[in-house]
Structures are given as C-alpha cells and as structure tokens.
Amino acid sequence: QPPLSLYRALRAINPSPYMYFYDFGDHQVIGSSPEILVRQERTPQGQKITIRPLAGTRPRGATPEQDAANEAELLADPKERAEHLMLIDLARNDIGRITQTGTVKVTEAFAIERYSHVMHIVSNVDGLLREGMDAMDVFRATFPAGTLSGAPKIRAMEVIDELEPTRRGLYGGAVGYWSFAGDMDLAIAIRTGIVKREQLYVQAAAGIVADSVPEMEWRETEVKARAVLRAAEQVQEGLDG
C-alpha cells in the first residue's frame, strides 16, 4: 500500500514527536509533526496544560560546523527572536484564559530542536487548569495555534481568510486524542501529506511579520515541505524499481 509505505518512509527520514497515519477510506493522512497544539495531563498539583510554541526556522547544515553556524545565526536574528517572543506571549495569553491565576510559567525559552531537514526555536509554556474546566475548554482556548495564525489572533485569522487563495483544510489543524481520564495530547497538523486518488497533497507555510524577506520565507516553505516530498520520492523510486 503506497500510503502506508509513505508513512514508513517518513518515519525513517523525519522521526518526530508526533507520527501518524489515518486511513479514512477515500483518503489517507500521513504526518510527522514536531509541534504540540496543546497537552493536558494529570499531575499531583492538578491538570497541567502545556503549549510549546515552535517558530524560527533554519535548514540543517551539511556539516556539524555549518549546523552550529545556522543555529547561532537563527538565535541571533532579531526578526526571528521578535516573532518567537510574540508567540510566547500569545501562548501565555491563551493558557491564561483557562488556568489558575499565578500558575502560568515559561519553563523553557529559546531552545533549539533539530529534525532531519530543519531546526527550530522552541519554548515551553504551562499552567494548571482552573476548576470546572475540561479538555474542550482547553481546546477552544488554544485553537488555532498562534504559530499558524498570528497576533492578535482574531484579526490575524480575518486577514488569512481575506488573503489566502485556497482553504487550508486539515493543514494547521489538530491531530491527537482525548482520553476518558481527561488527558489530551494534540499536535498541529504540519509536515503532513494527504493522499487522495493516488495524488499527494503537501502544504507548508512561514510566518510573516513586518520585516520578513519574501524570498527567505518562500525558501522556508520549501525546506519545511522537503521531508514529506523526499519520503514520497523514496516510495516512488521503490515502486518504479
């Protein structure tokens, strides 16, 4: 089955915190998302809510030296730092709507996570869920992710609706689970392909701010799409062989 072969190839090429294969009969969804939308888990202190903004991207280097240079350049880029800081603030605001006063904390800031084709700046924001709130309240407060919309979120969504020529569909949506115990773990549907009628559809995006350079943002979308496309090439080569 080519869709399942695509998942296997993607798992080998770009292992990520969230790997998924869904077969809906007339289409399949295959992904390797690096990014949490929101997580809810039981702890001794209460229900902990976590958002982990991922924004700021560079390609992986061909050598360890180039990789380290790309990391240093990414962390020193004022545009990338400003964009990421905005998204930390947005995550704090989203979590603050459903958590106990005084529990929202940035527990990690401006760390680097590496994947097969890209590296990202990531931070961690969490808080303790307020009494009387459940997983659906958490989902409503945090969806869509700030990294896939913008700030202020409502106005950013309006601009996206006005300017983007096609609907996003699943792209940027939520993939994961709710449990009967009250836990929840949702990823953002990025680095994802949809197979329908033997066609593969892949979407990728970059965040636009006032001082973005269009050519660099376009290049970022190409780099982000590369893992899924490379997995598809491997499957095609195997089928042709």
Query: What is the DSSP track for 4-51?
Result: HHHHHHHHHHS--SEEEEEE-SSEEEEEEE--EEEEEEEETTEEEEEE
Beta pairing partners, 108: 124
Q: Which of 147, 150, 173, 226 is catalytic?
A: 147
207 catalytically annotated: yes
Rounded Cα distance between 199 and 176, Å, is: 24
Rounded Cα distance between 179 and 190, Å, is: 23
In the chain the first and final C-alpha atoms are separated, in Å, by 15
Q: Which of 171, 173, 192, 226 is catalytic?
A: 171
56 catalytically annotated: no
11 catalytically annotated: no
Q: Which of 120, 127, 172, 226 is catalytic?
A: 120
Query: What single letter denotes the amino acid at residue 150?
Result: G
Q: Which of 173, 191, 192, 193 is catalytic?
A: 191
212-163-92-204 Cα dihedral, nearest 10 degrees: -70
Q: Which of 146, 172, 193, 207 is catalytic?
A: 207
The three-class DSSP label of residue 201 is strand
Q: How far is CA 229 from the centre of its chain?
A: 17
- Kindly list the catalytic residues: 120, 147, 171, 191, 207
